[in-house]
């Protein structure tokens, strides 16, 4: 069954997903900036976010959100977490009943500490909510490298249909019913990636990065399971897979933030130079509030939080982590 898909968000990942889906079915991308929509329609490029990529000629773009949503069978939200609710409120005026809504965002709403699928369920009750997530670097996917992702949704029938819509060539999409675990894996790994970048920025070495990734995965899993995720999810693509990619790639925005922090720059200076969102910076306060709420110890995330709040320098925070007393590997810390 060919579905008409509306994808909201003309950034790097929203555009990439739109280009993939356009190979399979009718796809319209909403970009807030009319110039971006015109560029995609006229030249099949989005040079601001994907400078080296050529997009599918089948992909149609618009700056009119009503046009992107009305009459569509699936809506995909490629909107950063802090603007997610506001765009959904606009969607509400145009979406047909029962249309599934899929999030691409890997963040938490700061004020409410809600996941994006929870916001979908609150703003659009009755619409099946899901998430597409995994170790997916937009530039590599557009360059034709193989990648894998996960579409997670509670309804097994709908998720299998959506799997066909997103699966494309070397972009392999798996299904999962654990929406909570898949979504949290994508959110929490951003914090650990900042920590890994802080170490890289100080020349800490491969052994140290491996330790941060491994201990970071333990933190992610503890909080994720406490919040209702399934343990095995965090050993899969949306947990360990996404964590490794984000902590090691120079294309990772969150690792880049950490790297610059490790070199001694301030978080304000770094963020002011970026035109793409590093979700880990935005989500850190919400993650630490959830850790407190669920009684979960997250020492790496706590140090990152102190740094992005400009309460502590990156070098002091990272060295403090390395001096932490080691107990059993199964212990926190």
- Report the CATH number at residue 241: 1.10.1040.10
Q: How far apart are the first and last CA of the chain?
A: 49
Do the domain assignments include residue 148?
A: yes
Do the domain assignments include residue 330?
A: no
Active-site residue, selected from the candidate residues 72, 106, 189, 282: 189
Contacts of 2 (CB under 8 A, 6+ apart): 24, 25, 26
pLDDT in tens, 187-213: 999 999 999 999 999 998 899 999 999
Per DSSP, 232 falls in state G
Contact assessment for residue 309 and residue 285, using Cβ atoms and an 8 Å cutoff? yes
Domain boundary among 177, 207, 237: 177
Contacts of 313 (CB under 8 A, 6+ apart): 264, 307
Do the domain assignments include residue 332?
A: no
**pTM for this one?**
0.92
Task: Please give the mean pLDDT across all residues of the chain.
Answer: 93
| Count of H-run helices and E-run strands, the chain | 15, 8
> What's residue 2's pLDDT?
85
> What's residue 330's pLDDT?
65
Alpha-helical segments (H) within the chain: 12-22, 34-43, 65-69, 81-91, 116-123, 138-142, 156-166, 179-201, 206-226, 242-248, 253-262, 267-273, 279-294, 299-308, 314-322
Residue 264 pLDDT > 60:
yes
Contacts of 332 (CB under 8 A, 6+ apart): 218, 219, 222, 296, 297, 298, 299
Domain enclosing residue 218, as ranges: 187-322
Do the domain assignments include residue 328?
A: no
More confident residue, 163 or 311: 163
Considering its fold, how many domains does the chain have in total? 2
Give mean pLDDT, residues 131-136: 97
Do the domain assignments include residue 158?
A: yes
Q: CA 73, CA 234: separation in Å to the nearest integer?
A: 31
State yes or no: is 189 an active-site residue.
yes
User: pLDDT band for position 282 (50/70/90)?
Assistant: confident
Do the domain assignments include residue 333?
A: no
44: β partners: none
Domain boundary among 149, 177, 205: 177
User: pLDDT band for position 312 (50/70/90)?
Assistant: confident
């Amino acid at each position: 069954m060919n579905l008409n898909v509306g994808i909201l968000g003309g950034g790097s990942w929203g555009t990439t997903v739109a280009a993939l889906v356009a190979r399979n079915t009718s796809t319209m991308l909403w970009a807030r900036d009319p110039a971006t929509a015109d560029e995609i329609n006229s030249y099949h490029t989005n040079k601001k976010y994907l400078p080296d990529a050529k997009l599918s000629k089948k992909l149609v773009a618009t700056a009119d959100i009503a046009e992107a949503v009305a009459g569509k069978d699936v809506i995909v939200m490629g909107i950063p977490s802090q603007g997610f609710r506001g765009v959904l409120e606009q969607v509400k005026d145009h979406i047909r009943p029962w249309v599934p809504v899929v999030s691409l965002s890997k963040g938490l709403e700061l004020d409410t500490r809600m996941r994006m699928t929870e916001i979908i369920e609150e703003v659009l009750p009755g619409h099946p909510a899901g998430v597409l997530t995994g170790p997916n670097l937009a530039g590599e996917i557009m360059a034709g490298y193989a990648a894998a992702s996960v579409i997670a949704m509670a309804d097994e029938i709908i998720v299998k249909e959506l799997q066909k819509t997103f699966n494309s060539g070397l972009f392999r999409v798996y299904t999962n019913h654990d929406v909570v675990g898949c979504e949290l894996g994508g959110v929490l790994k951003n914090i650990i990636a900042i920590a890994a970048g802080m170490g890289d920025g100080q020349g800490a070495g491969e052994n140290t990065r491996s330790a941060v990734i491994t201990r970071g995965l333990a933190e992610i899993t503890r909080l994720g399971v406490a919040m209702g995720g399934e343990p095995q999810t965090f050993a899969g693509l949306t947990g360990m897979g996404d964590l490794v990619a984000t902590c090691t790639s120079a294309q990772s925005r969150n690792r880049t933030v950490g790297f610059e922090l490790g070199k001694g720059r301030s978080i304000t200076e770094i963020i002011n130079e970026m035109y793409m969102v590093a979700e880990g910076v935005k989500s850190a306060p919400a993650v630490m509030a959830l850790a407190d709420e669920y009684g979960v110890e997250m020492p790496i995330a706590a140090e990152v939080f102190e740094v992005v709040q400009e309460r502590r320098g990156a070098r002091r925070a990272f060295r403090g982590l390395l001096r932490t007393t080691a107990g059993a590997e199964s212990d926190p810390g």
